[in-house]
Amino acid sequence: MPDSGVGREAGSLRAPVSELNLILLGPPGAGKGTQAERLTEDFDLPYISTGDMLREAVKAGTGLGKEAKSYMDKGELVPDEVIIGVILEKVESPEAADGFILDGFPRTIAQAEALDEAFAKLGRDLTAVILLEVPDEELVRRLSGRRVSPAGRPYHVDFNPPKVPGKCDVDGSDLIQRDDDKPEVVRKRLEVYHAQTAPLVDYYEDKGILRRFDGTLPPTEVHDHVRATIATLRLEDEL
């Protein structure tokens, strides 16, 4: 997946527009990764996925990975004090100075408050929180049929199949099933979402930056709606 925001609108004479600081919010399987892949290309923004970062850390056997693994395997959240510093460092890095797409963070009120505090110090604002709404029964169907490339690109055996079965369209690598997509872990992840992450919907609604999308539509339609909303936000900002 693209992870660099450099080179936006090459050849354009337009002055750079102000930053697009976007958060993708939604339950496990809502389509955050699926939409992020498309949106990073549309808007040339760096993509920061906490899940992908943590899985890479687990694979590499780093201190962070060792600490995170037991929580992830059980479908629980990694403690706030472990994740907040790592993500704030990314968001505050020069690559994310013109904006970013955050997937999987914040996931608790404490994480959202830490992000707000860091942004207030920097004089930056969140542009929008994109909420993908999908009911639990559909999420279970999606996660049980999900396959991912080693780089984290998501597919689904029925809803979003790769061109060659079992192979990534982009790099031809073998697709695998994520460890936390086992049915008992999926149930736990949904429980954790409703208890710890869903309160963020009201949190961002109160701030007036929440945008709701019907995540049950086909991926291309969800993408069309989200892209149009972000394009409008950007346009409004330029006027």
Q: Which residues bind ligand AP5 (CB under 6 A)?
A: 26, 28-34, 50-51, 54, 71-72, 75-78, 83, 104-105, 107, 111, 142, 146, 154-156, 159-160, 180, 189, 215, 217-219, 222
Using only C-alpha atoms, what is the Rg of the chain? 17
For the chain, how long is the longest CA-to-CA vector? Answer: 53
Separation of alpha carbons 27 and 36, rounded Å: 14
Distances (CA, A) of 225 to 17, 48, 99, 116, 142: 21, 21, 20, 27, 21
**Closer CB to ligand AP5, residue 99 or residue 215?**
215
178 an active-site residue?
Answer: yes
Phi, psi angles (nearest 5°) of residue 48:
-115, 105
As a dihedral over the C-alpha atoms of residue 15, residue 49, residue 150, residue 175, rounded to 10 degrees, the angle is -100
- For residue 26, state whether it binds Mg ion (rule: CB under 5 A): no
**Closer CB to ligand AP5, residue 179 or residue 237?**
179
- For residue 28, state whether it binds Mg ion (rule: CB under 5 A): no
- Give the position of tokens 């919010």: 25
Q: How far is the CB of 133 from ligand AP5 (least distance, A)?
A: 11
**Closer CB to ligand AP5, residue 8 or residue 218?**
218
**Closer CB to ligand AP5, residue 35 or residue 127?**
35
107 an active-site residue?
Answer: yes
Phi, psi angles (nearest 5°) of residue 221:
-70, -40
Residue from 107, 142, 153, 211 carrying the catalytic annotation: 107
Q: Which of Mg ion, ligand AP5, none has residue 53 at its interface (CB below 5 to 8 Å by kind)?
A: none
- For residue 33, state whether it binds Mg ion (rule: CB under 5 A): yes
Residue from 146, 147, 153, 211 carrying the catalytic annotation: 146
141 an active-site residue?
Answer: no
Taken in order 75, 134, 55, 91, the sign of the CA dihedral is negative
Active site residues: 32, 107, 146, 178, 189
Site residues for Mg ion per CB under 5 A: 32-33
